Structure 1
Amino acid sequence: MTTIENTTRTDLQFFPVAGYIGAEVDGIDLRDPLTEDQSKALIKGLHHYKVLFFRDQQIDHAQQIAFSRNFGRVTASHPYDDEAPTEFPEILKVDNRDYERKFGVKAASYTNEWHTDVTALVNPPAVTILRADVAPVRGGDTSWTNLAAAYEGLPESLKELVDGLRAEHSFGGRHPIFKSDSTYGAKVNKAPLISEHPVVRVHPVTGERILFVQPGFTNRIVGYSRRQSDAILDLLFDEVSKASYTVRFRWLPGSIAVWDNRATAHLAPGDINHLDVARTLYRTTIEGDIPVGVDGRPSVSISGEQFIGS
Protein backbone atom coordinates (compact mmCIF):
# COMPACT_ATOMS: atom_id res chain seq x y z
CA MET A 1 0.00 0.00 0.00
CA THR A 2 1.23 3.48 -0.84
CA THR A 3 -0.02 6.88 0.25
CA ILE A 4 0.69 9.68 -2.20
CA GLU A 5 2.02 12.53 -0.09
CA ASN A 6 -0.04 15.68 -0.28
CA THR A 7 -0.09 19.06 1.47
CA THR A 8 -3.18 17.97 3.40
CA ARG A 9 -4.45 14.58 4.50
CA THR A 10 -6.92 12.47 2.54
CA ASP A 11 -8.22 8.97 3.16
CA LEU A 12 -7.12 7.80 -0.28
CA GLN A 13 -4.88 4.78 -0.46
CA PHE A 14 -3.01 3.59 -3.56
CA PHE A 15 -2.14 -0.10 -3.88
CA PRO A 16 0.42 -0.67 -6.69
CA VAL A 17 -0.49 -3.73 -8.75
CA ALA A 18 2.47 -4.13 -11.14
CA GLY A 19 6.13 -3.22 -11.32
CA TYR A 20 5.93 -0.31 -13.76
CA ILE A 21 2.29 0.74 -13.94
CA GLY A 22 -1.06 0.70 -12.21
CA ALA A 23 -2.57 1.10 -8.75
CA GLU A 24 -5.92 0.29 -7.18
CA VAL A 25 -7.48 3.16 -5.25
CA ASP A 26 -9.37 2.75 -2.01
CA GLY A 27 -11.01 5.14 0.42
CA ILE A 28 -13.31 6.99 -1.96
CA ASP A 29 -16.94 6.87 -3.07
CA LEU A 30 -17.33 8.31 -6.57
CA ARG A 31 -21.04 8.90 -6.07
CA ASP A 32 -20.02 11.92 -3.99
CA PRO A 33 -18.24 15.04 -5.24
CA LEU A 34 -14.51 14.93 -4.61
CA THR A 35 -12.93 17.38 -2.22
CA GLU A 36 -10.13 19.57 -3.54
CA ASP A 37 -7.60 17.46 -1.65
CA GLN A 38 -8.99 14.20 -3.06
CA SER A 39 -8.89 15.61 -6.57
CA LYS A 40 -5.28 16.75 -6.21
CA ALA A 41 -4.26 13.39 -4.73
CA LEU A 42 -5.87 11.47 -7.60
CA ILE A 43 -4.21 13.63 -10.24
CA LYS A 44 -0.84 13.20 -8.55
CA GLY A 45 -1.43 9.46 -8.28
CA LEU A 46 -2.45 9.26 -11.94
CA HIS A 47 0.78 10.91 -13.09
CA HIS A 48 2.80 8.56 -10.89
CA TYR A 49 1.05 5.24 -11.62
CA LYS A 50 -0.26 6.06 -15.15
CA VAL A 51 -3.51 4.11 -14.62
CA LEU A 52 -5.78 3.97 -11.56
CA PHE A 53 -8.35 1.25 -10.84
CA PHE A 54 -11.52 1.58 -8.76
CA ARG A 55 -13.84 -1.23 -7.66
CA ASP A 56 -17.53 -1.32 -6.67
CA GLN A 57 -18.34 2.19 -7.88
CA GLN A 58 -22.02 2.12 -8.85
CA ILE A 59 -22.28 5.46 -10.61
CA ASP A 60 -24.43 6.66 -13.50
CA HIS A 61 -23.62 8.73 -16.59
CA ALA A 62 -24.03 12.09 -14.83
CA GLN A 63 -21.81 11.01 -11.95
CA GLN A 64 -19.16 9.71 -14.34
CA ILE A 65 -19.09 13.04 -16.16
CA ALA A 66 -18.89 14.92 -12.85
CA PHE A 67 -16.01 12.72 -11.69
CA SER A 68 -14.24 13.15 -15.03
CA ARG A 69 -14.25 16.94 -14.64
CA ASN A 70 -11.73 16.60 -11.82
CA PHE A 71 -9.13 15.86 -14.53
CA GLY A 72 -10.01 18.68 -16.94
CA ARG A 73 -12.48 19.66 -19.63
CA VAL A 74 -14.64 16.74 -20.75
CA THR A 75 -14.90 16.30 -24.52
CA ALA A 76 -17.75 15.03 -26.63
CA SER A 77 -17.87 11.23 -26.76
CA HIS A 78 -15.73 10.66 -29.88
CA PRO A 79 -15.04 12.43 -33.18
CA TYR A 80 -17.00 9.76 -35.10
CA ASP A 81 -19.72 8.93 -32.55
CA ASP A 82 -23.28 9.88 -33.49
CA GLU A 83 -24.99 7.53 -31.01
CA ALA A 84 -24.14 9.16 -27.68
CA PRO A 85 -27.13 9.63 -25.32
CA THR A 86 -28.80 12.93 -26.21
CA GLU A 87 -28.73 14.13 -22.62
CA PHE A 88 -25.13 12.92 -22.13
CA PRO A 89 -23.18 13.72 -25.31
CA GLU A 90 -19.90 13.10 -23.44
CA ILE A 91 -20.61 9.38 -23.04
CA LEU A 92 -19.21 6.83 -25.51
CA LYS A 93 -20.79 3.39 -25.30
CA VAL A 94 -18.28 0.56 -25.77
CA ASP A 95 -20.34 -2.54 -26.49
CA ASN A 96 -19.04 -5.63 -28.27
CA ARG A 97 -22.54 -6.30 -29.66
CA ASP A 98 -22.39 -3.06 -31.69
CA TYR A 99 -19.09 -3.53 -33.44
CA GLU A 100 -20.09 -6.00 -36.13
CA ARG A 101 -22.74 -3.53 -37.27
CA LYS A 102 -20.32 -0.59 -37.16
CA PHE A 103 -17.10 -2.16 -38.40
CA GLY A 104 -18.27 -5.00 -40.61
CA VAL A 105 -16.29 -7.49 -38.48
CA LYS A 106 -17.02 -9.24 -35.21
CA ALA A 107 -14.85 -7.66 -32.51
CA ALA A 108 -14.90 -6.68 -28.87
CA SER A 109 -13.52 -3.20 -29.53
CA TYR A 110 -12.45 -0.67 -32.16
CA THR A 111 -9.08 -2.38 -32.34
CA ASN A 112 -7.47 -5.42 -30.77
CA GLU A 113 -4.04 -3.82 -31.09
CA TRP A 114 -2.16 -1.64 -28.62
CA HIS A 115 -3.34 1.94 -28.97
CA THR A 116 -3.41 5.32 -27.28
CA ASP A 117 -6.85 6.87 -27.61
CA VAL A 118 -7.48 8.91 -30.76
CA THR A 119 -3.91 9.92 -31.60
CA ALA A 120 -5.18 10.72 -35.09
CA LEU A 121 -6.22 14.00 -33.44
CA VAL A 122 -3.66 16.78 -33.19
CA ASN A 123 -4.56 16.99 -29.48
CA PRO A 124 -5.35 13.43 -28.34
CA PRO A 125 -7.22 13.12 -25.03
CA ALA A 126 -5.13 13.77 -21.93
CA VAL A 127 -7.07 11.33 -19.74
CA THR A 128 -9.57 8.54 -20.37
CA ILE A 129 -12.15 7.27 -17.89
CA LEU A 130 -13.81 3.89 -18.56
CA ARG A 131 -16.63 2.41 -16.45
CA ALA A 132 -17.90 -1.18 -16.66
CA ASP A 133 -21.65 -1.77 -16.67
CA VAL A 134 -21.85 -5.33 -18.04
CA ALA A 135 -18.82 -7.62 -17.89
CA PRO A 136 -18.45 -11.23 -19.07
CA VAL A 137 -17.83 -13.86 -16.40
CA ARG A 138 -14.62 -14.82 -18.23
CA GLY A 139 -12.40 -12.92 -20.58
CA GLY A 140 -12.66 -9.32 -21.71
CA ASP A 141 -9.69 -8.01 -19.71
CA THR A 142 -7.88 -4.80 -20.73
CA SER A 143 -4.11 -4.27 -20.48
CA TRP A 144 -2.10 -1.05 -20.26
CA THR A 145 1.57 -0.33 -20.92
CA ASN A 146 3.83 2.43 -19.58
CA LEU A 147 5.21 4.38 -22.54
CA ALA A 148 7.68 6.30 -20.36
CA ALA A 149 9.19 3.01 -19.22
CA ALA A 150 9.22 1.80 -22.84
CA TYR A 151 11.29 4.83 -23.83
CA GLU A 152 13.67 4.40 -20.89
CA GLY A 153 14.19 0.77 -21.89
CA LEU A 154 15.66 1.72 -25.27
CA PRO A 155 19.43 1.70 -25.74
CA GLU A 156 20.97 5.19 -25.79
CA SER A 157 21.82 5.02 -29.50
CA LEU A 158 18.20 4.25 -30.37
CA LYS A 159 16.96 7.03 -28.08
CA GLU A 160 19.12 9.46 -30.03
CA LEU A 161 17.49 8.31 -33.27
CA VAL A 162 13.86 8.35 -32.16
CA ASP A 163 14.18 11.68 -30.30
CA GLY A 164 14.26 13.41 -33.68
CA LEU A 165 11.67 11.37 -35.58
CA ARG A 166 8.11 12.27 -36.49
CA ALA A 167 5.27 9.85 -37.26
CA GLU A 168 1.91 10.04 -38.99
CA HIS A 169 -1.15 8.81 -37.08
CA SER A 170 -4.51 7.87 -38.60
CA PHE A 171 -7.43 5.62 -37.71
CA GLY A 172 -6.46 1.98 -37.91
CA GLY A 173 -2.74 2.61 -38.27
CA ARG A 174 -1.04 0.37 -40.84
CA HIS A 175 -3.69 -2.36 -40.66
CA PRO A 176 -7.24 -1.08 -39.89
CA ILE A 177 -9.54 -3.68 -38.38
CA PHE A 178 -12.67 -2.05 -39.80
CA LYS A 179 -13.74 -2.59 -43.39
CA SER A 180 -13.55 0.43 -45.69
CA ASP A 181 -17.18 -0.01 -46.76
CA SER A 182 -18.48 -0.35 -43.18
CA THR A 183 -20.39 2.39 -41.37
CA TYR A 184 -17.26 3.32 -39.46
CA GLY A 185 -15.09 3.18 -42.57
CA ALA A 186 -17.44 5.58 -44.34
CA LYS A 187 -17.14 8.09 -41.48
CA VAL A 188 -13.34 7.87 -41.54
CA ASN A 189 -13.25 8.36 -45.32
CA LYS A 190 -15.68 11.27 -45.24
CA ALA A 191 -13.89 13.23 -42.51
CA PRO A 192 -10.37 11.82 -42.15
CA LEU A 193 -8.36 12.64 -39.04
CA ILE A 194 -4.60 12.52 -39.63
CA SER A 195 -1.87 14.11 -37.53
CA GLU A 196 1.91 14.20 -37.41
CA HIS A 197 3.31 13.68 -33.90
CA PRO A 198 6.80 13.45 -32.47
CA VAL A 199 7.83 9.82 -31.96
CA VAL A 200 8.98 10.93 -28.51
CA ARG A 201 6.79 13.48 -26.75
CA VAL A 202 7.62 15.28 -23.51
CA HIS A 203 4.93 14.90 -20.85
CA PRO A 204 3.66 18.42 -20.04
CA VAL A 205 3.38 17.70 -16.29
CA THR A 206 6.04 15.15 -15.37
CA GLY A 207 8.64 16.06 -17.99
CA GLU A 208 9.08 12.38 -18.84
CA ARG A 209 9.95 11.36 -22.38
CA ILE A 210 7.18 9.20 -23.81
CA LEU A 211 7.54 6.72 -26.69
CA PHE A 212 4.45 8.03 -28.50
CA VAL A 213 3.81 5.32 -31.10
CA GLN A 214 1.47 2.31 -31.12
CA PRO A 215 -0.01 -0.07 -33.73
CA GLY A 216 -3.61 1.16 -33.44
CA PHE A 217 -2.93 4.59 -34.96
CA THR A 218 0.71 5.06 -36.02
CA ASN A 219 1.04 4.28 -39.73
CA ARG A 220 4.45 5.53 -40.84
CA ILE A 221 7.65 7.33 -39.91
CA VAL A 222 7.86 10.63 -41.78
CA GLY A 223 10.74 10.91 -44.28
CA TYR A 224 11.45 7.17 -44.52
CA SER A 225 10.50 4.63 -47.16
CA ARG A 226 7.68 2.25 -46.29
CA ARG A 227 10.11 -0.61 -45.76
CA GLN A 228 12.39 1.49 -43.53
CA SER A 229 9.40 2.90 -41.64
CA ASP A 230 7.92 -0.54 -41.02
CA ALA A 231 11.24 -1.84 -39.70
CA ILE A 232 11.54 1.03 -37.21
CA LEU A 233 7.91 0.80 -36.15
CA ASP A 234 8.11 -2.97 -35.68
CA LEU A 235 11.07 -2.48 -33.38
CA LEU A 236 9.32 0.25 -31.38
CA PHE A 237 6.02 -1.63 -31.19
CA ASP A 238 7.88 -4.60 -29.71
CA GLU A 239 9.22 -2.31 -26.98
CA VAL A 240 5.83 -0.74 -26.31
CA SER A 241 4.21 -4.16 -25.88
CA LYS A 242 6.94 -5.67 -23.67
CA ALA A 243 5.11 -7.59 -20.95
CA SER A 244 7.21 -6.21 -18.10
CA TYR A 245 5.85 -2.69 -18.70
CA THR A 246 2.19 -3.78 -18.57
CA VAL A 247 -0.69 -4.36 -16.19
CA ARG A 248 -3.89 -6.34 -16.83
CA PHE A 249 -7.33 -5.56 -15.35
CA ARG A 250 -10.34 -7.83 -14.94
CA TRP A 251 -13.59 -5.91 -15.38
CA LEU A 252 -16.53 -6.36 -13.02
CA PRO A 253 -19.73 -4.32 -12.93
CA GLY A 254 -18.85 -1.05 -11.18
CA SER A 255 -15.15 -1.23 -12.07
CA ILE A 256 -13.56 1.99 -13.32
CA ALA A 257 -10.17 2.63 -14.90
CA VAL A 258 -8.65 6.10 -15.29
CA TRP A 259 -5.49 6.40 -17.36
CA ASP A 260 -3.04 9.06 -18.45
CA ASN A 261 -3.55 8.83 -22.21
CA ARG A 262 -0.38 10.85 -22.80
CA ALA A 263 1.83 8.23 -21.13
CA THR A 264 0.13 4.90 -21.85
CA ALA A 265 -1.22 2.63 -24.54
CA HIS A 266 -3.81 -0.06 -23.89
CA LEU A 267 -4.90 -3.33 -25.43
CA ALA A 268 -8.57 -4.16 -25.82
CA PRO A 269 -9.53 -7.83 -25.46
CA GLY A 270 -9.51 -10.20 -28.41
CA ASP A 271 -10.36 -13.32 -26.43
CA ILE A 272 -14.14 -12.81 -26.50
CA ASN A 273 -14.60 -12.02 -30.19
CA HIS A 274 -15.82 -15.56 -30.84
CA LEU A 275 -17.97 -15.83 -27.70
CA ASP A 276 -21.67 -15.04 -27.34
CA VAL A 277 -21.18 -12.71 -24.36
CA ALA A 278 -22.03 -9.10 -23.53
CA ARG A 279 -19.47 -6.49 -22.53
CA THR A 280 -20.67 -2.91 -22.06
CA LEU A 281 -18.54 -0.05 -20.79
CA TYR A 282 -18.95 3.72 -20.87
CA ARG A 283 -16.09 6.08 -21.72
CA THR A 284 -15.36 9.74 -21.16
CA THR A 285 -12.25 11.63 -22.25
CA ILE A 286 -10.49 14.82 -21.17
CA GLU A 287 -9.35 17.47 -23.62
CA GLY A 288 -5.67 17.05 -24.40
CA ASP A 289 -2.82 19.36 -25.22
CA ILE A 290 -0.90 19.34 -28.49
CA PRO A 291 2.13 17.03 -28.02
CA VAL A 292 5.59 18.57 -28.10
CA GLY A 293 8.74 16.71 -29.04
CA VAL A 294 12.18 16.70 -27.47
CA ASP A 295 13.19 19.43 -29.95
CA GLY A 296 10.27 21.64 -28.89
CA ARG A 297 8.32 21.12 -32.12
CA PRO A 298 4.58 20.59 -31.62
CA SER A 299 2.40 18.11 -33.45
CA VAL A 300 0.60 19.32 -36.56
CA SER A 301 -2.75 18.39 -38.04
CA ILE A 302 -2.73 17.04 -41.57
CA SER A 303 -6.50 16.66 -41.62
CA GLY A 304 -9.00 17.58 -38.90
CA GLU A 305 -9.42 20.11 -36.11
CA GLN A 306 -8.60 20.08 -32.41
CA PHE A 307 -11.06 18.18 -30.20
CA ILE A 308 -12.23 20.67 -27.58
CA GLY A 309 -14.02 19.93 -24.30
CA SER A 310 -16.34 21.98 -22.15
Structure 2
Amino acid sequence: MASLKELRARIGSIKSTRKITSAMKMVAAAKLRRAQASAEAARPYAAAMRRMLGELAAATKGEDGAPRLLAGTGQDKVHLLVPLTSDRGLCGGFNSNVHRLTVQTIRRLQSEGKTVKLLPVGRRAFNFFSRDYADLIIDKVVGVSGKEVPFSAASNLGEKINALLEAGEIDVCTLVFNKFKNAMTQVPTCQQLVPMVMDEADEKPAAASNDVALYEFEPDEGTLLEMLLPRNLQVQIYASLLETAAGENGARMTAMDNATRNAGRSIDSLSQVYNRTRQTNITNELIEIISGAQAV
Protein backbone atom coordinates (compact mmCIF):
# COMPACT_ATOMS: atom_id res chain seq x y z
CA MET A 1 0.00 0.00 0.00
CA ALA A 2 1.25 3.48 -0.88
CA SER A 3 2.28 5.78 1.94
CA LEU A 4 0.39 8.95 2.83
CA LYS A 5 3.18 11.05 1.31
CA GLU A 6 2.96 9.18 -2.00
CA LEU A 7 -0.83 9.47 -2.06
CA ARG A 8 -0.66 13.23 -1.39
CA ALA A 9 1.86 13.61 -4.22
CA ARG A 10 -0.34 11.65 -6.65
CA ILE A 11 -3.44 13.62 -5.72
CA GLY A 12 -1.56 16.91 -6.17
CA SER A 13 -0.22 15.80 -9.54
CA ILE A 14 -3.66 14.82 -10.82
CA LYS A 15 -5.13 18.11 -9.58
CA SER A 16 -2.51 19.98 -11.60
CA THR A 17 -3.33 17.87 -14.65
CA ARG A 18 -7.03 18.59 -14.18
CA LYS A 19 -6.35 22.33 -14.20
CA ILE A 20 -4.45 21.99 -17.49
CA THR A 21 -7.10 19.85 -19.20
CA SER A 22 -9.86 22.16 -18.00
CA ALA A 23 -8.03 25.19 -19.41
CA MET A 24 -7.41 23.38 -22.72
CA LYS A 25 -11.09 22.49 -22.91
CA MET A 26 -12.11 26.15 -22.54
CA VAL A 27 -9.57 27.28 -25.14
CA ALA A 28 -10.75 24.61 -27.59
CA ALA A 29 -14.39 25.60 -26.99
CA ALA A 30 -13.60 29.24 -27.76
CA LYS A 31 -11.75 28.28 -30.96
CA LEU A 32 -14.50 25.84 -31.93
CA ARG A 33 -17.15 28.56 -32.16
CA ARG A 34 -15.12 30.52 -34.71
CA ALA A 35 -13.97 27.44 -36.63
CA GLN A 36 -17.48 25.97 -36.80
CA ALA A 37 -18.92 29.25 -38.07
CA SER A 38 -16.23 29.42 -40.79
CA ALA A 39 -16.74 25.79 -41.86
CA GLU A 40 -20.53 26.14 -42.06
CA ALA A 41 -20.25 29.42 -43.97
CA ALA A 42 -17.92 27.85 -46.56
CA ARG A 43 -20.16 24.86 -47.35
CA PRO A 44 -22.83 26.67 -49.45
CA TYR A 45 -20.19 28.50 -51.50
CA ALA A 46 -18.20 25.32 -52.20
CA ALA A 47 -21.38 23.41 -53.13
CA ALA A 48 -22.61 26.22 -55.39
CA MET A 49 -19.27 26.37 -57.15
CA ARG A 50 -19.35 22.62 -57.81
CA ARG A 51 -22.86 22.91 -59.25
CA MET A 52 -21.91 25.85 -61.45
CA LEU A 53 -18.86 24.05 -62.82
CA GLY A 54 -21.00 20.95 -63.34
CA GLU A 55 -23.31 22.98 -65.58
CA LEU A 56 -20.33 24.43 -67.45
CA ALA A 57 -18.86 20.96 -67.84
CA ALA A 58 -22.18 19.67 -69.21
CA ALA A 59 -22.13 22.40 -71.84
CA THR A 60 -18.67 21.30 -73.03
CA LYS A 61 -19.31 17.56 -72.72
CA GLY A 62 -17.91 15.57 -75.62
CA GLU A 63 -15.56 18.33 -76.80
CA ASP A 64 -11.88 17.61 -77.30
CA GLY A 65 -9.22 19.30 -75.21
CA ALA A 66 -11.16 19.43 -71.94
CA PRO A 67 -9.08 20.80 -69.03
CA ARG A 68 -7.26 18.17 -67.01
CA LEU A 69 -8.76 19.41 -63.75
CA LEU A 70 -12.16 18.50 -65.18
CA ALA A 71 -11.51 15.40 -67.26
CA GLY A 72 -8.23 14.18 -65.79
CA THR A 73 -5.47 12.67 -67.88
CA GLY A 74 -7.67 9.94 -69.31
CA GLN A 75 -5.91 7.33 -67.19
CA ASP A 76 -6.38 5.88 -63.71
CA LYS A 77 -2.92 4.62 -62.83
CA VAL A 78 -1.36 7.13 -60.40
CA HIS A 79 -3.40 8.28 -57.39
CA LEU A 80 -2.42 11.14 -55.12
CA LEU A 81 -3.88 10.98 -51.61
CA VAL A 82 -3.90 14.14 -49.49
CA PRO A 83 -4.68 13.30 -45.82
CA LEU A 84 -5.58 16.36 -43.72
CA THR A 85 -4.76 16.17 -40.00
CA SER A 86 -3.73 18.50 -37.19
CA ASP A 87 -0.23 19.52 -36.18
CA ARG A 88 -0.88 18.77 -32.50
CA GLY A 89 -2.33 15.82 -30.63
CA LEU A 90 -4.54 15.57 -27.54
CA CYS A 91 -7.67 15.41 -29.69
CA GLY A 92 -8.83 11.83 -29.20
CA GLY A 93 -9.17 9.70 -32.31
CA PHE A 94 -9.41 12.67 -34.67
CA ASN A 95 -6.11 12.05 -36.46
CA SER A 96 -6.14 8.26 -36.20
CA ASN A 97 -9.47 8.12 -38.07
CA VAL A 98 -7.89 9.89 -41.06
CA HIS A 99 -4.81 7.67 -40.82
CA ARG A 100 -6.97 4.53 -40.80
CA LEU A 101 -9.08 5.58 -43.79
CA THR A 102 -5.98 6.61 -45.75
CA VAL A 103 -4.23 3.30 -45.07
CA GLN A 104 -7.34 1.40 -46.15
CA THR A 105 -7.44 3.41 -49.38
CA ILE A 106 -3.73 2.86 -50.02
CA ARG A 107 -4.09 -0.90 -49.60
CA ARG A 108 -7.19 -1.03 -51.81
CA LEU A 109 -5.52 0.94 -54.61
CA GLN A 110 -2.29 -1.05 -54.44
CA SER A 111 -4.25 -4.31 -54.53
CA GLU A 112 -5.79 -3.05 -57.79
CA GLY A 113 -2.33 -2.46 -59.24
CA LYS A 114 -2.42 1.34 -58.93
CA THR A 115 0.49 3.57 -57.98
CA VAL A 116 -0.12 5.66 -54.85
CA LYS A 117 1.55 8.92 -53.83
CA LEU A 118 1.04 10.85 -50.59
CA LEU A 119 1.01 14.56 -49.83
CA PRO A 120 0.29 14.73 -46.08
CA VAL A 121 -1.06 17.98 -44.64
CA GLY A 122 -0.40 18.34 -40.91
CA ARG A 123 2.52 17.24 -38.77
CA ARG A 124 0.61 14.27 -37.37
CA ALA A 125 -0.07 12.88 -40.84
CA PHE A 126 3.54 13.35 -41.92
CA ASN A 127 4.93 11.68 -38.79
CA PHE A 128 2.52 8.75 -39.11
CA PHE A 129 3.07 8.00 -42.79
CA SER A 130 6.84 8.56 -42.53
CA ARG A 131 7.09 5.34 -40.54
CA ASP A 132 5.54 2.83 -42.97
CA TYR A 133 4.93 4.75 -46.20
CA ALA A 134 7.92 7.11 -46.42
CA ASP A 135 8.62 6.00 -50.00
CA LEU A 136 5.16 7.22 -51.09
CA ILE A 137 5.52 10.77 -49.71
CA ILE A 138 6.34 13.35 -52.38
CA ASP A 139 5.84 16.51 -50.30
CA LYS A 140 4.32 17.76 -47.04
CA VAL A 141 2.47 20.79 -45.66
CA VAL A 142 2.66 21.65 -41.94
CA GLY A 143 1.80 24.64 -39.79
CA VAL A 144 -1.73 25.16 -41.15
CA SER A 145 -3.84 23.98 -38.21
CA GLY A 146 -3.99 25.49 -34.74
CA LYS A 147 -4.83 28.98 -35.98
CA GLU A 148 -7.05 30.83 -38.42
CA VAL A 149 -6.78 28.94 -41.70
CA PRO A 150 -5.57 31.34 -44.42
CA PHE A 151 -6.83 30.91 -47.97
CA SER A 152 -3.21 31.14 -49.12
CA ALA A 153 -2.62 27.67 -47.62
CA ALA A 154 -5.33 26.19 -49.85
CA SER A 155 -4.10 28.23 -52.80
CA ASN A 156 -0.53 26.94 -52.47
CA LEU A 157 -1.71 23.35 -52.05
CA GLY A 158 -3.98 23.70 -55.08
CA GLU A 159 -1.10 25.00 -57.16
CA LYS A 160 1.04 22.01 -56.14
CA ILE A 161 -1.67 19.55 -57.14
CA ASN A 162 -2.30 21.34 -60.43
CA ALA A 163 1.42 21.36 -61.23
CA LEU A 164 1.67 17.61 -60.59
CA LEU A 165 -1.35 17.03 -62.82
CA GLU A 166 -0.06 19.17 -65.67
CA ALA A 167 3.32 17.44 -65.46
CA GLY A 168 1.57 14.09 -65.88
CA GLU A 169 2.82 12.79 -62.51
CA ILE A 170 -0.68 11.98 -61.20
CA ASP A 171 -3.99 10.95 -62.73
CA VAL A 172 -6.37 11.16 -59.75
CA CYS A 173 -6.25 13.28 -56.59
CA THR A 174 -8.33 12.55 -53.46
CA LEU A 175 -8.61 14.41 -50.16
CA VAL A 176 -8.98 12.41 -46.94
CA PHE A 177 -10.28 14.48 -44.03
CA ASN A 178 -12.73 14.62 -41.15
CA LYS A 179 -16.01 16.28 -42.08
CA PHE A 180 -17.30 18.25 -39.11
CA LYS A 181 -20.73 17.22 -37.87
CA ASN A 182 -20.72 18.38 -34.26
CA ALA A 183 -18.30 18.70 -31.37
CA MET A 184 -18.49 14.96 -30.67
CA THR A 185 -18.73 13.61 -34.21
CA GLN A 186 -16.37 14.01 -37.15
CA VAL A 187 -16.95 11.79 -40.17
CA PRO A 188 -13.85 10.50 -42.05
CA THR A 189 -14.44 11.37 -45.70
CA CYS A 190 -12.78 10.83 -49.08
CA GLN A 191 -13.42 13.57 -51.64
CA GLN A 192 -12.08 13.23 -55.16
CA LEU A 193 -10.77 16.51 -56.54
CA VAL A 194 -9.28 15.42 -59.87
CA PRO A 195 -11.00 14.63 -62.12
CA MET A 196 -13.88 16.64 -60.74
CA VAL A 197 -16.95 14.63 -59.73
CA MET A 198 -20.38 15.84 -58.70
CA ASP A 199 -21.79 14.75 -55.36
CA GLU A 200 -25.35 13.43 -55.27
CA ALA A 201 -26.34 16.29 -52.96
CA ASP A 202 -25.04 18.80 -55.50
CA GLU A 203 -26.95 17.17 -58.35
CA LYS A 204 -30.35 17.17 -56.59
CA PRO A 205 -31.30 20.82 -57.27
CA ALA A 206 -30.65 20.41 -60.99
CA ALA A 207 -32.31 17.00 -61.15
CA ALA A 208 -35.43 18.29 -59.39
CA SER A 209 -36.25 20.51 -62.35
CA ASN A 210 -37.71 19.02 -65.54
CA ASP A 211 -36.73 22.04 -67.60
CA VAL A 212 -33.23 22.31 -68.99
CA ALA A 213 -31.83 25.78 -68.42
CA LEU A 214 -30.19 27.48 -71.38
CA TYR A 215 -27.15 29.66 -70.71
CA GLU A 216 -25.24 32.06 -72.89
CA PHE A 217 -21.63 32.13 -71.77
CA GLU A 218 -19.34 35.11 -72.19
CA PRO A 219 -16.53 34.35 -72.78
CA ASP A 220 -16.95 30.81 -74.11
CA GLU A 221 -17.35 27.77 -71.86
CA GLY A 222 -13.78 26.54 -72.38
CA THR A 223 -12.26 29.85 -71.32
CA LEU A 224 -14.47 29.99 -68.25
CA LEU A 225 -13.47 26.48 -67.23
CA GLU A 226 -9.79 27.29 -67.64
CA MET A 227 -10.27 30.25 -65.29
CA LEU A 228 -12.62 28.69 -62.74
CA LEU A 229 -11.33 25.12 -62.36
CA PRO A 230 -8.08 26.08 -60.55
CA ARG A 231 -10.13 28.39 -58.33
CA ASN A 232 -12.61 25.63 -57.60
CA LEU A 233 -9.77 23.30 -56.63
CA GLN A 234 -8.54 25.87 -54.12
CA VAL A 235 -12.05 26.49 -52.77
CA GLN A 236 -12.70 22.77 -52.20
CA ILE A 237 -9.36 22.39 -50.43
CA TYR A 238 -10.05 25.48 -48.32
CA ALA A 239 -13.47 24.15 -47.30
CA SER A 240 -11.86 20.84 -46.29
CA LEU A 241 -9.20 22.68 -44.25
CA LEU A 242 -11.95 24.57 -42.44
CA GLU A 243 -13.78 21.31 -41.75
CA THR A 244 -10.53 19.89 -40.38
CA ALA A 245 -9.94 22.91 -38.13
CA ALA A 246 -13.48 22.75 -36.73
CA GLY A 247 -13.25 18.99 -36.22
CA GLU A 248 -9.88 19.28 -34.48
CA ASN A 249 -11.15 21.82 -31.96
CA GLY A 250 -14.34 19.86 -31.39
CA ALA A 251 -12.42 16.63 -30.83
CA ARG A 252 -9.94 18.35 -28.53
CA MET A 253 -12.71 19.95 -26.49
CA THR A 254 -14.42 16.56 -26.08
CA ALA A 255 -11.14 14.80 -25.23
CA MET A 256 -10.16 17.41 -22.65
CA ASP A 257 -13.64 17.30 -21.12
CA ASN A 258 -13.34 13.52 -20.73
CA ALA A 259 -9.83 13.89 -19.31
CA THR A 260 -11.05 16.45 -16.78
CA ARG A 261 -13.88 14.17 -15.67
CA ASN A 262 -11.53 11.19 -15.38
CA ALA A 263 -9.09 13.26 -13.33
CA GLY A 264 -11.92 14.21 -10.97
CA ARG A 265 -12.88 10.57 -10.52
CA SER A 266 -9.26 9.60 -9.88
CA ILE A 267 -8.94 12.34 -7.26
CA ASP A 268 -12.08 11.13 -5.49
CA SER A 269 -10.87 7.55 -5.52
CA LEU A 270 -7.39 8.42 -4.25
CA SER A 271 -8.85 10.71 -1.60
CA GLN A 272 -10.88 7.79 -0.25
CA VAL A 273 -7.77 5.60 -0.20
CA TYR A 274 -5.84 8.41 1.50
CA ASN A 275 -8.51 8.84 4.20
CA ARG A 276 -8.74 5.09 4.84
CA THR A 277 -4.95 4.79 5.06
CA ARG A 278 -4.74 7.76 7.39
CA GLN A 279 -7.47 6.33 9.62
CA THR A 280 -5.71 2.96 9.67
CA ASN A 281 -2.45 4.58 10.72
CA ILE A 282 -4.18 6.52 13.49
CA THR A 283 -5.91 3.36 14.73
CA ASN A 284 -2.62 1.44 14.75
CA GLU A 285 -0.90 4.23 16.68
CA LEU A 286 -3.70 4.26 19.28
CA ILE A 287 -3.48 0.48 19.66
CA GLU A 288 0.27 0.71 20.19
CA ILE A 289 -0.14 3.47 22.81
CA ILE A 290 -2.87 1.57 24.68
CA SER A 291 -0.93 -1.69 24.52
CA GLY A 292 2.17 0.03 25.88
CA ALA A 293 0.22 1.66 28.68
CA GLN A 294 -1.31 -1.69 29.69
CA ALA A 295 2.08 -3.35 29.65
CA VAL A 296 3.42 -0.78 32.11
TM-score (norm 1): 0.23
- Structure number with the higher helix fraction is 2
TM-score, normalization: structure 2?
A: 0.24
Higher strand proportion: 1
Larger radius of gyration between Structure 1 and Structure 2: 2
